Structure 1
Amino acid sequence: MEEDISIINSNTRNEKVRNFFINNKNKIISTAIVLVVVLIGAYGFDNYKTNKKKDISNKFNLTTLAFSENVKGSTVQKLVEIINEQDPTYSPLSLYFIIDNKLISNQSEINGYFDILIEKTSLDREIKNLIIYKKALFNADQSQESDLLNILNPLINSDSVWKSHALYLMAEYFYSKDQKQKSKEFFNQIISLENSNSDIWSQAEKRLNRDLSE
């Protein structure tokens, strides 16, 4: 008797499953098609990104290796194209190459490329903070106090590993302008930071003891 009931229950379950698939056949097929399309699309997009990364890498390497004064114009053009690709690796490297080799003299143009990296390129947090710091360094000699602070405030008002570097840059900026009280305030901030860079901390302490002690 129990065996007969078990067989009936099994048949009932099978019938319910069969009816479910029959009644929802179109939905199941549509879902399967969508899933296949999504998987194919994801795979294709991943391949596209990989190939694009390789193309940008090759372009950067070939451009920088072939650089000479004779091809300066085309070098700048290709490196700017890479910057505009907003690649997290080669866009920053392209800007650094331009700056290190003094390929563009227009400060405003260089700042525009910094902004592409900072505002539009997908970067790790501390890499972006490093680029902000490099932008400040690039502008430090010619910037007004407010402009330099505006660049560095995202670091000064954060817990970034580059915060002590930003404070040190401002401290030295004010020291060079003979604004010693402001300089001292920034050096003291470095000393009080828990995660100050050790070299920066030592330099700040030396400056306070040697040049800014009362």
Structure 2
Amino acid sequence: MDEEITIIDTNTRNEKLKNFFINNKKNLLIGTSILLILIIGYFSYDAFKKKEKFNLAKKFNLTTINFKPEEPENTVKNLINIVKENDVTYSPLALYFLIDNNLVKDLEEINVLFDELISKTNLEKEIKNLNIYKKGLFNSNFVSENELLKILNPIINSESIWKSHSLYLVAEYFYSKGEKQKAKEFFNQILALPQANNEIKLASKKRLNRDLSE
């Protein structure tokens, strides 16, 4: 008797399952098609991005390898275009190459390229902060104290690993201007930081003891 009931229950479940597929055949086909399209789209996009990355890497490498100081025009053009691609790897490298080789003379143009990295490129948080610091470092010989602080404040007002570097840059900026009291305040902020870079902290102590101890 129990076996007969089991057989009947099994047949009933099978019949219900069969009817479910028959009644929902259209919806199941649509759902399966959408799923396949999404899977194909995902892998196609992934392959496209990998190819795009490969092409950008190739363009960067060829541009820098073929760089001739006496004929910088094509190098500058290609590297600026790479910066504007907003790639997390090659856009920063392109800008650094431009700066290290002094290929762009216009300060404003360099700042526009820095802003391209900082505002439009999907960099990790601390890589973004590094580029803010580099922008401050680049501008420190040209801008006023208010402009320098405006650039660096996002780091100075955070807990970034680049905070002590930024404070040191501002402290040295004031020291170079002969504003010793302001410099001293920023050096002391570094010493008060629990997570300050050890080399930065040591350099700050030396500056305070040697030049600002009065």
Match of 2:143, SS?
coil
Q: Output aligned runs, 1:150-189, within 5 Å.
A: 150-189=150-189
Task: State the shift of 1:69 in Å.
Answer: 2.7
Aligned to 1:120: 120
Q: Which amino acid aligns with 1:40?
A: I
Q: Which amino acid aligns with 2:35?
A: L
Aligned residues: 214
Aligned to 1:79: 79
Aligned to 1:90: 90
Aligned to 2:4: 4
Deviates more, 1:17-26 or 1:49-58: 17-26
- For 1:71 and 1:85, how far apart are their aligned partners in 2? 23
- Give structure 1 stretches of 5+ with no counterpart: none
Q: Which amino acid aligns with 2:23?
A: N
Q: Which amino acid aligns with 1:110?
A: I
- RMSD over aligned CA atoms reads 0.8
Match of 1:69, SS?
coil
- For 2:192 and 2:111, how far apart are their aligned partners in 1? 32
- For 1:53 and 1:173, how far apart are their aligned partners in 2? 39
Task: State the shift of 1:175 in Å.
Answer: 0.9
Aligned to 1:190: 190
Aligned to 1:102: 102
User: Deviation digits for residues 37-74 of structure 1, max 9, x if unmatched?
Assistant: 00100000000010000100000000011011343111
Q: Percent identity?
A: 55
- For 1:174 and 1:191, how far apart are their aligned partners in 2? 17
Q: Output aligned runs, 1:139-154, within 5 Å.
A: 139-154=139-154
Match of 1:71, SS?
coil
TM-score by length of 2: 0.98
Q: Which amino acid aligns with 1:205?
A: K
Structure 1 segments, 4+ long, off by >2 Å, are none
TM-score by length of 1: 0.98
- For 2:172 and 2:114, how far apart are their aligned partners in 1? 23
